[in-house]
């Protein structure tokens, strides 16, 4: 005996009730529960759907779907970071490395100048404003996408909702550079260090706010074969 | 007697879960989660039972490490996710099996010196 479509939908609702928010994991767990229920019906055809479902769920142990959810989140974060890293590496290859060098030199010359303090504050302000603006825009984009598809994908959430996290963390760590002392302008290593941080930050922002969201469909299709089904 | 992967008395098997998954996929081209649990049960005549709570985290970890690839197909009236080995996964399977064989040999020497 096979499960009906309403029973499959009930299993989707069941996974949502047990904190599985994302469609890809829901689909995998629904198929698992369905297979188990159908196997139970072979031995006990009179077993009710609800009893069979609960019994299949019990086999996941006392933590239910929690371990699967946690591991999936870790795996997806790793995948997102690997996309970031892959794109970042390209900026150290020919010809993009020329743009990276120019960017670094702009920061280096600025931080070596007499008005390093002012320029540092200006750069910080621009990057912070860009980060906040793009976070709001991408969040709105995410809400619009959700309304259309009605399905939640973990990678999509990372691309659109968490794009600014790395940037916000770095910004919160480098805020003290706003106060650039005279000693700083004399220390070449400090200037190189700060220029490197700003260059990487700018590249990461560009990758996570522009490049990756623009490639979202391609990345989602690559990650989830069921995305366009 | 069932030995469940997540039960405390099965720590010996727990470390081998990834190897078991990789080995099965090496022999079966592509498999889905439920099929893996059933296959292990069948091959070990019920001695070893991979529990659901341990299987999916392991599969997702192997996928994130680039050892597994996924495929989705519509079966009956639902979607089914299949796992298969990537090129790296095939190489890693050989390494893991070699490691496991070494481990078994070492344990054999310790537990039963006459056989080793």
Question: Residue A179 has what pLDDT?
Answer: 60
Contact between chains at B72 and A224 (C-beta distance less than 8 A): yes
Task: Choose, out of B49, B52, B69, B72, the residue to mutate when testing the contact with A (most A CBs < 10 Å).
Answer: B52
pLDDT tier for residue B12 given thresholds of 50, 70 and 90: low
Which residues in A lie closer than 8 A to residue B54 (C-beta atoms)? 67
Interface of A with B (CB under 8 A): 2-5, 8, 24, 27-32, 34-36, 59-61, 63-64, 67-68, 70-72, 74-76, 78-79, 224-226, 229
Minimal CA–CA distance to A13: which of A51, A40, A50, A39?
A50
Please give the residue that has the higher pLDDT: either B51 or A220. A220
DSSP H or E segment with residue A219: helix A216-223
The per-residue pLDDT for range A66-111, each reduced to its tens digit, is 988 998 999 899 889 989 999 999 999 988 899 999 999 999 998 8
The ipTM is 0.80
How large a percentage of chain B has pLDDT more than 90?
36
pLDDT of residue A2: 87
Nearest-Cα residue of chain A relative to residue B6: A61
Please judge whether B74 and A70 are an interchain contact, meaning their C-beta atoms are less than 8 angstroms apart.
no
Q: Is residue A228 predicted with pLDDT exceeding 80?
A: no
Instruction: Give me the residue label for tokens 């990756």.
Output: A212
Candidates B51, B63, B81; nearest CB to A75: B63
Say if residue B4's pLDDT is above 50: no
Peptide bond into A95 cis (omega under 30): yes
Residue of A52, A43, A60 whose CA lies nearest to A3:
A52
* pLDDT tens digits, one per residue of B52-87: 888 999 999 999 888 999 999 999 889 999 999 999
How do residues A143-201 score in pLDDT, each as one tens digit? 888 888 778 899 999 999 887 777 778 777 776 665 666 666 677 888 898 899 889 98
Q: Which residue has the higher pLDDT, B14 or A78?
A: A78
- Full set of structural domains in chain B with CATH: 3-111 (1.10.10.10)
Phi/psi for A215 (5° steps) reads -100, 10
Return d(Cα A170, Cα A191) in angstroms, integer: 17
CB contact B79 to A (< 8 Å): yes
């Amino acid at each position: 005996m096979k499960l009906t479509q309403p029973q499959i939908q009930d299993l989707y609702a069941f996974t949502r009730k047990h904190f599985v928010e994302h469609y890809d994991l829901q689909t995998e767990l629904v198929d698992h529960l369905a297979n188990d229920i159908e196997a139970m019906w072979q031995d006990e055809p009179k077993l009710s759907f609800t009893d069979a479902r609960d019994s299949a769920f019990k086999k996941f142990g006392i933590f239910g779907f929690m371990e699967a959810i946690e591991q999936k989140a870790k795996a997806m974060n790793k995948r997102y970071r690997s996309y970031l890293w892959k794109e970042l590496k390209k900026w150290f290859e020919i010809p993009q490395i020329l743009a990276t060098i120019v960017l670094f030199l702009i920061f280096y010359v600025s931080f070596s100048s007499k008005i390093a303090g002012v320029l540092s504050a200006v750069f910080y302000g621009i990057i912070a404003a860009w980060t906040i603006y793009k976070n709001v825009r991408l969040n709105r984009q995410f809400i619009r996408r959700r309304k259309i598809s009605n399905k939640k994908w973990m990678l999509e959430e990372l691309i659109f909702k968490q794009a600014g996290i790395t940037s916000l963390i770095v910004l919160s760590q480098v805020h003290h550079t706003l106060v650039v002392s005279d000693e700083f302008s004399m220390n070449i290593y400090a200037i190189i260090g700060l220029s490197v941080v700003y260059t990487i930050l700018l590249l990461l922002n560009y990758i996570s706010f522009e490049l990756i969201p623009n490639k979202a469909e391609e990345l989602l299709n690559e990650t989830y074969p069921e995305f366009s089904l | 007697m069932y030995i469940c992967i997540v039960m405390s008395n099965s720590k010996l098997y727990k470390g081998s879960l990834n190897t078991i998954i990789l080995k099965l996929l090496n022999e079966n081209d592509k498999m889905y989660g439920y099929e893996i649990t059933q296959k292990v049960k069948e091959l070990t005549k019920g001695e070893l039972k991979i529990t659901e709570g341990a299987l999916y985290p392991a599969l997702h970890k192997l996928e994130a490490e680039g050892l597994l690839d996924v495929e989705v197909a519509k079966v009956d009236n639902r979607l089914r996710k299949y796992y298969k080995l990537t090129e790296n996964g095939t190489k890693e399977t050989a390494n893991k099996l070699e490691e496991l064989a070494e481990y078994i040999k070492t344990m054999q020497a310790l537990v039963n010196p006459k056989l080793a």
